[in-house]
Amino acid sequence: MFAKLQKIADSPGCGYYTLGVVAEYVEIKVLQGTWAQDRLLVAHACPELPRKEFSPHAGTLRSFTLGDVHRLELHRDNFYGIEILRSLGSDSEAPPDFFSIRVDPADSAVEVAPPTRGLKRMADAARI
């Protein structure tokens, strides 16, 4: 899926916990599956970190910048165990539609294959 980042809250930073925020995306182009709404809410873990620094499998995006278009791999399950930060009175009170698995700049030539085995390992690790 491709989508344009419209809003994202500041994160205080990850440490002992995997903290994340809910980002709002618009101008959505679906590559697989379906999405019929005009906006998409995605939880991103540790958004202050480049994706490769957060996890070797989390993509190549270096920073979240408003207005940028991202190529997103999303999942309904919270494989990374993200603790979502919420700020009172903002749109971030809404639960995420999805959790990000991988985020790349839209213009990067990234071959995307479903990381089925990796997701299973992440899900198994999350149960421990």
Q: What are the pLDDT digits (tens) for 72-100?
A: 999 999 988 888 876 534 554 678 999 99
Record the pTM.
0.78
| 3-state per-residue secondary structure call for the chain | CEEEEEEECCCCCCCCCCEEEEEEEEEEECCCCCCCCCCEEEEEECCCCCHHHHCCCCCCCCCCCCCCEEEEEEECCCCCCCEECCCCCCHHHCCCCEEEEEEEECCCCCCCCCCHHHHHHHHHHHHC
More confident residue, 33 or 104: 104
Give me the mean pLDDT over the 48-59 stretch: 93
